Amino acid sequence: MQREPRSARATARANIALAKYWGKSDVALNLPAVPSVSLTLDELATETEVTFEADLDEDVLVLDGKPVTGRPQTRVRALLDRVRRLAGLELHARIRSTNRFPTGAGLASSASGFAALAAASTRAAGVELAARELSALARASSASAARSVYGGFVELPAGTRGDHSLCAEPIAAASHWDVRLVIAITAIGPKTVSSTEAMERSRTTSPYYAAWVEQAPVWAAEVKRAIASRDLAALGNAMERSTMAFHCAAITSQPGTLYWQPGTVAALHRIAALRAGGVPVWSTMDAGPHVKALCEASEAPHVAKALDELPTVRKVITASPGQGTEGTRSPPKKEAFSSI
Ligand code: DP6
């Protein structure tokens, strides 16, 4: 058994779904019930270092300089247990992870977080995974993380029960289309209900969940076609419908999950008003109160200013297409491990 500390780092970027994933077809394997399509974002990066050490009694997680316990620690341990099984390793790990964006703001930190953790921990354990295997490993922890393994435009197909190997697939490189997502932060602090919990509530209690599962593949196909032809209006329309439909399933669950805050509604109206005034911009939201506006790069400064003017918008971040998780395509040589 390996006794020396072994360490590796990885950087992964968050992604925002253009066609949404919401609900699972297999809860135990964490398989999505619907296909989703996303854009990986350059500005929203997570850097993670994993070190397997002989003198640790348990896995220790430090996020943005603070020790983390509870559910996040449990989810991290579950991924590390898979990696230990793959590597035949018994050591525990120290994980230091830093988000280059506000974690508590409810942006998609689990996607970049689990993609970076999967890459860094497998490298540290000396396991060389192909990108699709890395994507499947990240997906088992958080389905949206499967997409962050790749850069640019990415699809995660729906999963069929029992399919351990489901992984995301790249559709088009970041350079394919110079769009922007202008993110309006509308509340401070972590969200009250996790996406995992809220989508389970939707699946088990919303009368609209079945309609969502039936329609979501139609919007995912429209989004894919629109990406291929760089048709922003077609993409925006499908994205808005996908967004509203999954929120409908969340709001109508028992108990209902309403992520929206006053700033959410203000930003949605501002984006609609901009579009009515001739600016090609469309909105999307995830499991939180923030609103993301999709537009061409040339329109982004104008859109950012219009959102920043709203009193209920706290901060605006403009994000552009980004690369996949670093180090996945060319696994590091043994010398790349830095011992501490
Ligand atoms: C609304 O990937 O966070 O952001 O698989 O349970 O970890 P788990 O869920 P997660 O859900 C993301 C939901 C979403 C839409 C999306 O990213 O596709």
71-87 vs 109-125: helix axis angle to the nearest 10?
A: 30
Distance CA 133, CA 160 (A): 17
User: Mind listing the pLDDT tens digit of every residue in the chain (340 residues)?
Assistant: 555 668 999 999 999 999 999 999 999 999 999 999 999 999 999 999 999 999 999 999 999 999 999 998 999 999 999 999 999 999 999 999 999 876 555 675 799 999 999 999 999 999 999 999 999 999 999 999 999 999 999 999 999 999 999 999 999 999 999 999 999 999 887 778 999 999 999 999 999 999 999 999 999 999 999 999 999 999 999 999 999 999 999 999 999 999 999 999 999 999 999 999 999 999 999 999 999 999 999 999 999 999 999 999 999 999 999 999 996 433 333 333 222 1
- Quick one: which atom of ligand 1 is closest to the CA of 285? 1
Task: State if residue 48 touches ligand 1 by the CB under 6 angstroms criterion.
Answer: no
Distance CA 69, CA 183 (A): 29
From ligand 1's centre to the CA of 197, what distance in Å?
10
From ligand 1's centre to the CA of 255, what distance in Å?
19
Task: State if residue 143 touches ligand 1 by the CB under 6 angstroms criterion.
Answer: yes
pTM to 2 decimal places: 0.94
Distance CA 311, CA 99 (A): 26
- Quick one: which atom of ligand 1 is closest to the CA of 141? 7
Q: Are 283 and 243 in contact (CB under 8 A)?
A: yes
